[in-house]
């Protein structure tokens, strides 16, 4: 596996691979890798492309009171993991390499970034789309892989690529969970044993909400109330949001029909976890 922290060196490596006729696949990460990230890499490798993994904790997407400094980091552990699964190139830039000057140019996907996680995290998705846009221009991938645990991010990146006519295929990979249902996240390491046990209520409530919809419940507010009550009654989690939205464009939903996204964000202690489930509803005949 090749490694570089230098943009110019990376571009030379990519140029040589493209001369050989190879497609390039990018898996952008913030490191502290888990099985969910490795699943993204496995999906990239299946394409036969030259696989690039980036590890960069992006300061632009953290608010002033968020956990940038606390975000878990272990670059050498991550490098060993991705070398074992056969990644071709690790790109590990520093903040100074990615942002040599104070940023005055940003990429913003409006509307989609104002709801769900964007409602209480102003500037978060602007930071995400800006750094992903930079990575796309640096790496010049043909394919890019994103986990659907961050479903809103996945939709925003897809829309950015579409609106800007970028020649990149964005592929979403389903959520990877522990055996007990907890969605894998780098932030899970911050949960105490009791908080981790309580956090199982997230996937449980989403599964039960899906069952209610399958049994005929069509009120979006009713589903939101059900999930909210279950989390409130059965845990000490502090709810940020619980919302049912259109799974294609995150527009508001009143009557559940078509594919809908049930999305939530809940804090256990200082650790904010997100989870979601996409539910397909057959149209009434």
37 given a catalytic annotation: yes
Can you give the chain as a three-state secondary structure string? CEEECCHHHHHHHHHHHHHCCCCEEEEEECCCCCHHHHHHHHHHHHCCCEEEEEECCCHHHCCCCCCCCCCCCCHHHHHHHHHHCCCCEEECCCHHHHCCCCCCCCCCCCCHHHCHHHCCCCCHHHHHHHHHHHHHHHHCCCEEEEEHHHHHHHHHHHHHHHHCCCCCEEEEECCCECCCCCECCHHHHHCCHHHHHHCHHHHHHHHHHHHHHHCCCCEHHHHHHHHHHHHHHHCCCEEEEEEEEECCCCCECCECCEEEEEEEEEEECCEEEEEEEEEEECCCC
Pick the catalytic residue: 37, 101, 124, 137? 37
* Catalytic residue annotation: 37
């Amino acid at each position: 596996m090749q490694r570089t922290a230098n943009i110019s060196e990376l571009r030379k490596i990519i140029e040589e691979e493209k001369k050989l006729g190879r497609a390039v696949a990018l898996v952008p990460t913030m490191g502290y890798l888990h099985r969910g990230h490795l699943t993204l890499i496995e999906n990239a490798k299946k394409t036969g492309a030259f696989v690039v993994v980036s590890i960069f904790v992006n300061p632009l997407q953290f608010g002033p009171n968020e956990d940038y400094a606390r975000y878990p980091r272990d670059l050498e552990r991550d490098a060993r993991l991705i070398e074992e699964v056969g990644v071709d190139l690790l790109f590990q830039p520093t903040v100074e390499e990615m942002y040599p000057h104070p940023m005055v140019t940003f990429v913003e996907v409006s509307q989609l970034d104002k709801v769900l996680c964007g409602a209480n995290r102003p500037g978060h998705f602007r930071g995400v789309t800006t750094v992903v846009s930079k990575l796309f221009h640096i790496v010049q991938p043909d394919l890019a892989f994103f986990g659907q645990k961050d479903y809103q991010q996945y939709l925003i990146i897809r829309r950015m690529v579409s609106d800007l006519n970028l020649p990149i295929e964005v592929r979403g990979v389903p959520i990877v969970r522990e055996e007990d249902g907890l969605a894998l996240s780098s932030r899970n390491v911050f949960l105490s044993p009791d908080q981790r046990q309580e956090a199982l209520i997230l996937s449980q409530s989403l599964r039960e909400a899906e069952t209610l919809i399958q049994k005929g419940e069509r009120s979006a507010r009713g589903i939101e109330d059900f999930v909210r009550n279950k989390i409130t009654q059965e845990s000490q989690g502090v709810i940020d949001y619980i919302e049912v939205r259109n799974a294609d464009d995150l527009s508001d939903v009143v009557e559940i029909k078509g594919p809908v996204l049930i999305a939530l964000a809940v804090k256990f202690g200082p650790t904010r976890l997100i989870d979601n489930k996409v539910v397909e509803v057959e149209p009434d005949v």
